């Protein structure tokens, strides 16, 4: 069945360094790839998304890359700050109105 694998499960980086989270998906028909950030005790919130007709998208310190051939997509956070500490989820779907399959999450900690 459809599956999204996410790595690593935990990540600790020094403040100011970059963080990278990687995901792979199994269904080649997937064409929409959102990323969510969930702070402790709060709801998941969309931080960036990418569609299959685009290879890269950037929003300030956050960027996402997509390799459709390899079925990989990644989240890059540059110049990390303490407020970046959270759990991050990648996801994939076959369209914005379709069900979304989530990865298992990455707990990112930023060391001062």
Partner 1 sequence: DVKVTQSSRYLVKRTGEKVFLECVQDMDHENMFWYRQDPGLGLRLIYFSYDVKMKEKGDIPEGYSVSREKKERFSLILESASTNQTSMYLCATTGTGAQHFGDGTRLSIL
Distance from the Cα of residue 14 to its chain's centroid: 19
Q: Quick one: which of 8, 9, 14, 26 contacts partner 1 (CB under 8 A)? A: 9
- Provide, rounded to whole angstroms, the least separation between the CB of residue 68 and partner 1: 19
Instruction: Give the tokens for residue 59.
Output: 């929003």
Q: What residue has token string 């300030």?
A: 60
Q: Which positions from 68 through 107 interact with partner 1, judged by CB under 8 A?
A: 89, 96-97, 99-105
- Provide, rounded to whole angstroms, the least separation between the CB of residue 60 and partner 1: 18
Distance from the Cα of residue 56 to its chain's centroid: 13
Does residue 43 interact with partner 1 by CB under 8 A? Answer: yes
| Three-state secondary structure call for residue 6 | strand
Does residue 18 interact with partner 1 by CB under 8 A? Answer: no
What torsion do the CA atoms of 51, 17, 46, 85 make, to the nearest 10 degrees? 150
Q: Quick one: which of 19, 21, 44, 80 contacts partner 1 (CB under 8 A)? A: 44
Report the interface residues with partner 1, using CB under 8 A: 1, 6, 9, 34, 36, 42-46, 49, 89, 96-97, 99-105
């Amino acid at each position: 069945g459809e599956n999204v694998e996410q790595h690593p499960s935990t990540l600790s980086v020094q403040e100011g360094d970059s963080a990278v989270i990687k995901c792979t998906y199994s269904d080649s028909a997937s064409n929409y790839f959102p990323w969510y950030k969930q702070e402790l005790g709060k709801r998941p919130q969309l931080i960036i998304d990418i569609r299959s007709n685009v290879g890269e998208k950037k929003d300030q310190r956050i960027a996402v890359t997509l390799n459709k051939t390899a079925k990989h997509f990644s989240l890059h956070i540059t110049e990390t700050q303490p407020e970046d500490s959270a759990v991050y989820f990648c996801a994939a779907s076959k369209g914005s109105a379709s069900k979304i399959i989530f990865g298992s999450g990455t707990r990112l900690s930023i060391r001062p």
